[in-house]
A = this chain, B = another copy of it.
Amino acid sequence: MRATLYLSAGNVVVDDVPDASISEPTDAVVRVVRAAVCGSDLWSYRGIINRAERSRLGHEFIGIVAEVGDEVRTVRPGDLVVAPFQWSDNTCPACLDGIQTSCERGGTFGAAGTDGGQGEAVRVPYADGTLVAVPGGMDGTGESLYPALLAASDVMGTGLHGAVLAGVTEGSTVAVIGDGAVGLCAVLGARSILGAERVILMSRHADRTAVGKLFGATDVIAERGDEGIAAVRELTGGLGVRHVVEAVGTPESWSMAVGMAREGGSIGAVGVPHTAPTLPLFPPLIHHLSLNLGIAPVRRYLPDLISCITAGTLDPGPVFDTVLPLEDVARGYAAMAARESIKAMLTMQP
Contact = CB atoms under 8 A, between A and B. Distances in A.
Nearest to A296: B288
* Copies of this chain: 2
A221 to B, nearest CB: 22
Contacts of A282: 273, 276-277
Interface in A89-126: 93-94, 97-99, 101-102
B294 A288 contact: yes
A293 B281 contact: yes
Interface string A271-293: 01100111111101111111111
A286 B94 CA distance: 12
A10 interface: no
Contacts of A97: 263-264
B281 A288 contact: no
Q: What's the dominant secondary structure at chain A's contact region?
A: mixed
A287 B294 CA distance: 7
Interface string A58-100: 0000000000000000000000000000000000011001110
Interface residues of A, number: 36
A273 B284 CA distance: 12
A254 interface: yes
A344 interface: no
A42 interface: no
Given A264-B94, A290-B290, A281 B281 contact: no
A295 interface: yes
